Amino acid sequence: MQTSNSIENLNISKPVVTIGSFDGVHRGHREVLRQLTDYARQTGGSSVVITFWPHPAAVLGGKQTGLLSTPDEKLQLMTETGIDWLLTLPFTREFAQMEYDVFVTECLVKKLQISTLLIGYDNKVGRNGRGRFAEVEALAEKLGFEVRQLEVLAADTQPISSTAIRNLLSEGRVIEANQLLGRPYGLSGKVVSGNHIGTKLGFPTANIQPDECKFVPGNGSYAIRANIDGTEYAGMLNIGNRPTIADAGQPTIEAHLFNFSGDIYGRTIEVFFVDKIRDERQFANLDELRAQLETDCQTVKGWFGI
């Protein structure tokens, strides 16, 4: 897969293009990309995905949080789909004001020399989403390229969407979210120093600091798998405010890994959510919290057959 952050001066043979944010590169996205690559092969063209950074919601809404995939994660996931080109264009307020006919004419036709544009069921092009399928199709007839509408992949009759996945993860419905993603949801970050309460309780934890744009599932305790430098560990993880601990500070993401020992501070850890164990709750004292952690540990080890 070749990549570019510009649409200028690219020598792409017969570009077959689709456009979108593709946050999470979930099962619905991968079905779109399968149709894209299949059609490109059938017509002797090159499969091209145009996406944006920052995420349009961050520019238009002022927030760059809650993404299922960081730019690096999306790049890796896109590489696995077999597309020929990934164009990640800078998204600005000026770009957002471009009318669909200007974008199509100046960017897709004149600069990219597009052959075919594949549009999803809910895709809209240009300022305020005015370029719907019918409008772009009419413009394509004048400008001499083909427009095709993509088939949508649905789950329980509802289209698979990044929003639906985020909602499920917020509610702790990890298994359902993973089904829509087509893989376990993961996040990664450096391990930073905490207050060492877990160590005192007999459950040392890695305090994970993810990318600020990354979506974090709802508060609670989870069964996880973790990867550190290529070695996989089972474990459990807590997200929340640690209400049992006075002056606990900011919300944390803390992972306790089974069968791990050694200095982990400053290293990068990647965790994958398997299922939610329970909601976060306040205990009367640290002894009661320790007893619950022991129960959680046995529950998760039972799931993993450890």
Q: Which amino acid is at 238?
A: N
Predicted confidence at residue 64, as pLDDT, reads 62
Closest to 48 in 3D by CA, of 22, 23, 28: 22
Within 10 Å of residue 207's Cβ, how many Cβ atoms?
20
10-residue mean pLDDT profile of the chain (306 residues): values are: 95 96 95 96 97 88 81 96 97 88 93 93 61 80 92 74 95 97 97 78 89 95 96 96 67 92 89 96 88 94 90
Model pTM score: 0.92
Could you tell me the domains of the chain? 2-159 (3.40.50.620), 186-304 (2.40.30.30)
Closest to 206 in 3D by CA, of 179, 187, 219: 187
Q: 């730019």: which residue's tokens? A: 71
